[in-house]
Structure 1
Amino acid sequence: MINNVWILIGKKFSGEASPEELLELEELLQQGGGEQYPLRLLEEIWENEHQNNSDDKILNTWEAFEVKLDAADKNETEEAAKVADINAKQKVIKFIKHASWLVAASLILGVFLFTRHGDTANYRPNEISAPKNGISKIQLPDGTKVWLNSGSKLAYGNDFGTDVRKVSLVGEAFFDVVKDARHPFIVTTPTISIRVLGTRFNLRSYKNDKTSEAALLRGQIELTVLRNPEKKIILKPSEKLTVINNENVAGKANKQQANVGEETPLIALSRIHQAKQDTLPSEALWLENKLAFDAEDFEGLAKKLERRYNVSIVFDNEKVKKLRFTGKFQNEPINKALKALQTTTNFHYKINNNQIVIH
């Protein structure tokens, strides 16, 4: 049987409810029926039903239903001797109309909620994070292998591989992509996007870093800087592209260097660096738990040291930030690493628990 609440809701929407019935409905909803009977959403469906004549399916359904009801009503009215039965029948017909509409509304509501839940489930991303001071290795559904550097996060949807193989990255990762010409592989970061078929490359794009970097080891990739999407850049093996993440940083640096005729480019193309004794270029040596840096300024190197040693590094001397270093660390503790840097240039530091102040 249809719950009495539905009957009262039907009378309320049709304007046939008495003040007593409206009061009864309000009391029922206040007793906990509000969650089971979403009155506001049902009222919207009711209004749309009566105001929107463009929905032919709903209109035709109601017309066919009303024809049957009118036919039943006509047959009853032809029996003049049964006036009381006619009145009763008409009340039943009204009740059925309201009840049928409310059942339909409930079904529409259920389908809407189920569909929304299903869509949310389908597009809920799969997320993989690398721990601090650690590396995570994963294999995607297509067989592509991905290594995540410390503090990095990779996400992809359940539709991965249906049309394209799309993933998003925050942090640093090394990709060994399985070739599939029919399903391009796309990596999107907060600053750059990369499209490939089958290749090996390293991609770094941390939120707080001044630069993002893509270094290609094998194959070919098409790179797009998101703030300049109309320009596509093709990288070839052994090339890397460095992008300044914040245009304001570049503008400030250019003003400071204007007197000496230097300029900081927003995008810089160069070659990857690989020492003879290493199996990987310096841009990807983190895969072997090594921290390599090549003519890198102290500010950028400090970000790498923070992630590697899980410390916080602050500068109280702006000039020290611009000092440049080339080298490689593997098993050295942070104190020993800083002492090694001190042998090449003049700076001082102080360690207080997990915070390091450099001056």
Structure 2
Amino acid sequence: MKNNELKNLIDKYLDGALNAEETAQLEQWLDGMAADDAFAAMPEQEKETARTEGYNRLVKRIEKAQRPTIVKRMFTGARSWKIAAAVACLVITGTLFKNSLLDIVAPHRLTAMQSTEGRIKKHILSDGSIVWLKGNSKLVFPVSFGEGNRVVTLEGEALFEVAKDAAHPFQIQCGSLTTTVLGTSFNIRSSGNETHVAVLTGKIALSAPQSGKVILYPNQQAIYKEAAVIARENRNSASVHEITKGTEYDMAFNDVRMSEVVQRIEKKFEVNIALQDAAITGSLITADFTDQSLQNTMEMICQALNLDVEINGKSISLKLKKES
């Protein structure tokens, strides 16, 4: 799609004159932009939705999005050819913006991340779950989870810290083995026809075609071989270090200065934390935030140090409570 064609679509939207055929035209253009066939891999129902109302959904979601605020201003105020053309150029040339458009039009499309040998790659999923993908592994997941179960597919090994959501169970497909959780932390390692699952916190349910359901609790693990039953066995607690090595999973602190605590929280959750009062920096924390969500971590810190917190997307502000 040429810049002037996209400009015309923007102008028509501003005038309320965008029809279904033009929506399909935009979807086709986005399809051509998608890398690694990600757009083509999205569910058929989502594709159909994108065809019929994609552009209108795009604009509505841009207005609600946190990151592309400049795009929102362009769309709401762009009444001139010059600004509309600038948006078109940004779309055509900007890879980051291209991916944002795809995420908005097709929020449940499948995408993938892959790690290389000897490296750990972290990703925070749309529900807040954290995945540390270990060497030479691949995770396939939706850009944004829908209303049903949260389903991902794993090839290789990964440490999961799953956000708690009882209404939407989290499922990992690893070959013919399905791991179902509500909110917990565990490690899955698949090699060849053998899959090892080790639970750190909470509980998980394992199921496979040839085996009955097996429930695992903390300090338990199971081994599954394709076309066989799931075998439960006790896990040596010393292996916890091996499972979590190279990740930010361990968040236990014993008389640690807040300046260091903040750095570790920022790295784990990929946020920016501002301490509004200098007195907070030297405060000491003794607490275990392991397997806690960002929200819970902030609430625990505020309770311990008598602070107020303000969370705005990826920006967090902590300040001393005012005495009443």
State TM-score, norm by structure 1.
0.39
Query: RCO greater where, 1 or 2, for CA within 8 Å and sep 6 or more?
Result: 2
- Structure number with the higher helix fraction is 1
- Structure number with the higher strand fraction is 2
Tell me which structure has the larger Cα radius of gyration: 1
